[in-house]
A and B are shown apart, each in its own frame.
Chain A
Amino acid sequence: MSTDSPRTLFEKIWSEHVVVEETADTPAVLYIDLHLIHEVTTPQAFSLLREKGLPVRRPGLTLATMDHSTPTTPVSSFKDLEIVGEGAAKQVLRMEQNCRDFGLELLGFDSGLRGIVHVIGPELGATQPGKTIVCGDSHTSTHGAFGALAFGIGTTEVGHVLATQCLLQRKPKTLLIEVAGRLRPGVSAKDVILATIGQIGVDGGTGHVIEYRGVPISAMDMEARMTICNMSIEAGARAGMIAPDDTTFEYLEGRPRAPAGADWERAIARWRALPSDDEATFDRTVTVDADRLEPMVTFGTNPGMVVPISAPVPGDGDASFRKSLEYMQVAPNKPLTDTRVDVVFVGSCTNSRLSDLKQAAAILEGRTIASGVRMLVVPGSQQVKKAAEELGLDQIFRAAGAEWRESGCSMCLGMNGDTVPAGQLCVSTSNRNFEGRQGKGARTILASPLTAAASAVEGRVADPRRYLE
């Protein structure tokens, strides 16, 4: 394609990173600008490098941390790993060893910069417009909020990037999601993305890179945009992106790994050319009507099984639908409000940034969580934790009866000992309500931080809007 023809944001980044063009017989060799790594999906890749006697090609383009297997209990020394189990401890020690052996900087236990990989990349300013960003983690789509092309890869591909800084890729298709109208009070980015997944389905984005656009998207701060892009994978999409703008640049300016001085000016000029050209076309376009959105809650065992909080759960579906409702112990034809809640989780790469915690705290301030409810608040990074404590949010959570924890993935996937007991119902700000995701037999309702906090106060699935008057 000539560079004169109109191109989308995705196409501009893609073509700038092609090392070897794709042909009918061979995929493109695509250069990767930032490789995020964590302890769960890398040990086998490092083993491969050792076997082949290969170094990490570009250690400076690799950002390493630990988040999945790490404890979130406030321990005095993170060396005490027994609490998360032998496997997790071994994995964490292996990560430390691998980073030492291959000369990689690790934002590990002793680092105040440690956190969920998708929270710290942006926080450090390492996530930037126009970059190609990958990680052995499907929620890498989060970084697309900055106008980067960011997607999850498997462990074999982690090995490819470590060894060559490149990936073999076929060019995906493009899907434009136009969010039209305006969001009503109490409706957040989480509700927009849940409604979008409900509309297009959990396979609606398969094979595509999504670009989100529209007045509500432009009006969102970077943290809300990250929530949107984060769950692109829940629609099956390869990646999700939002064009960079002044909001993006203001967020990045002055962050430790963002360009500075003359480099900053040059970067801004380059980034301003990234948004899709006016005439650029997409393989598909979908419109989401923001005006009609309410706080959204999932009722089934995939994120596409979602309803507005005041609406009834659908009456019937296929065998998979019925299996899902049976697992969730949810009745058809009735709204979820008033369903008793056992656990509330505020955290995960979807909703654990400062603005998420502020929203939950706004509802919890001066209130207490219902008796019998356990609430965990897990900040996305140690820096988010510190910022929240400076604002006194930890005091609000503690006074309300919630647990205030160290950062990590925690109860989103229950790898570190933070799990929902079998049969219990959790209102969670995370991204997946799959069977057993939060613990064997656990039942999950996905919702926004506002809805989660309101549900904690009432001890049942609750509409947060009554707290916002």
Chain B
Amino acid sequence: MNPVEPLKTVQSRTVVLAVADVDTDQIIPARFLTTTSREGLGAKLFHDWRYLPDGAPNPDFVLNQPAANGCRILVADRNFGCGSSREHAPWALTDYGFRAVVSSEIADIFRSNALKNGLLPIIVDADTLAWLLEHPGVEVTIDVAASTLSLPNGSVVSYPIDAFSRYCLLEGIDQLGYLRKHDNEIRRFEESRSWTP
């Protein structure tokens, strides 16, 4: 695994997927999980929506439209990333080139996985989401340090992110390294337990 690159800002046009409850089986179908690496999954991102049964790109799917080229911010309707815990979902999104997903709700495990892979899970209020859904392709700037999303209509929207995750994103910190620094505390915890699992 490569160390996560520091992520300070994302400036990009948006791709809009106006679908609610996008589950991880849509992001990356289970039959592509028989891999032992995390590279190359971008080609399978949204596979069954993106490709027709004969394997040709589905011209109706948003990622196949020319405007989607180079976009790094995905906007989706509420409850993005529900379903399984497969980290292949954020791997597929980042491998494709996305650096942020914006929705009014993002499922817990997907959110946690995204934060460990340099993919910003950005939760905005329903009005902001509605505006973004209605204005596909707008240029948006995400300032990670300020935890804000700047829209071309002039509004600057704050999004929630815990301080630790933000710090790790900004500095490209490997969370395992942080955990391992607590080795003494972990050892003491194990020695002091009243029962052993």
Contacts and interface: CB of A to CB of B under 8 A. Distances in A.
Interface of A: 19-20, 24-27, 29, 31, 33-34, 40-41, 43-44, 47-48, 51-52, 61, 68-69, 85, 87-88, 90-91, 94, 128, 131, 136-138, 140, 152-157, 159-160, 163-166, 168, 170, 172, 202-203, 206-207, 233, 236, 238, 266-267, 270, 302, 318-320, 323, 413-415, 422, 432, 434-437, 440-441
Contact of A156 (B26, B107, B113, B178): B113
- What 8 A-B pairs come out closest when comparing CB atoms? A87-B34, A33-B197, A154-B113, A43-B36, A154-B87, A152-B85, A413-B30, A155-B87
Nearest to B104: A203
Interface in B147-197: 162-164, 167, 175-176, 178-180, 182-183, 185-186, 189-190, 195, 197
A267 B19 CA distance: 48
B21 A61 contact: no
B135 interface: no
Contacts of B183: 164
Contacts of B34: 40, 69, 85, 87-88, 90-91, 415
Interface residues of B, number: 54
B176 A422 contact: no
B117 A302 contact: no
Interface string B134-149: 0000000000000000
A29 B48 contact: no
Contacts of A172: 108
A165 B25 contact: no
Contacts of A40: 33-34, 86
B98 to A, nearest CB: 17
Query: Most chain-B Cβ atoms within 10 A of its Cβ — which of A24, A40, A43, A48?
Result: A40
Contacts of B23: 302, 432, 434
B56 interface: no
Interface in B80-121: 82-87, 90, 105, 107-109, 112-113, 116-117
Contacts of B84: 137-138, 152, 413, 432
A154 B175 CA distance: 13
B36 A156 contact: no
Nearest to B112: A154
A320 B1 contact: no
A291 B185 CA distance: 50
28 contacts: A19-B185, A25-B163, A40-B33, A41-B87, A44-B87, A69-B34, A87-B34, A87-B35, A154-B85, A154-B109, A156-B116, A156-B175, A157-B112, A163-B179, A172-B108, A206-B105, A233-B83, A233-B109, A236-B82, A236-B108, A302-B23, A414-B31, A432-B23, A432-B84, A434-B26, A435-B26, A440-B29, A441-B53
Given A156-B87, A266-B195, A440-B48, A44 B36 contact: yes
B114 to A, nearest CB: 9
Contacts of B178: 168
B85 A137 contact: yes
A34 B197 CA distance: 8
Contact of A163 (B180, B185, B190): B180
Given A43-B36, A90-B36, A91-B34, A31 B25 contact: no
A181 to B, nearest CB: 29
Contacts of B182: 19-20, 29, 164, 166
Contacts of A434: 23, 25-26, 83
Nearest to B48: A436
Contact of B20 (A128, A155, A318): A318
Interface string B46-82: 0010000100000000000000000000000111001
A206 B83 CA distance: 11
B85 A41 contact: yes
Given A24-B163, A44-B37, A320 B109 contact: no
Given A138-B84, A155-B87, A320-B77, A29 B186 contact: yes
Contacts of A94: 36
Given A153-B109, A202-B21, A320-B77, A29 B36 contact: no
Contacts of A436: 25-26, 29, 48
B145 to A, nearest CB: 15
B179 A166 contact: yes
Contacts of A166: 179, 182, 186
B30 A302 contact: no
Given A19-B182, A415-B31, A203 B78 contact: yes
Nearest to A29: B182
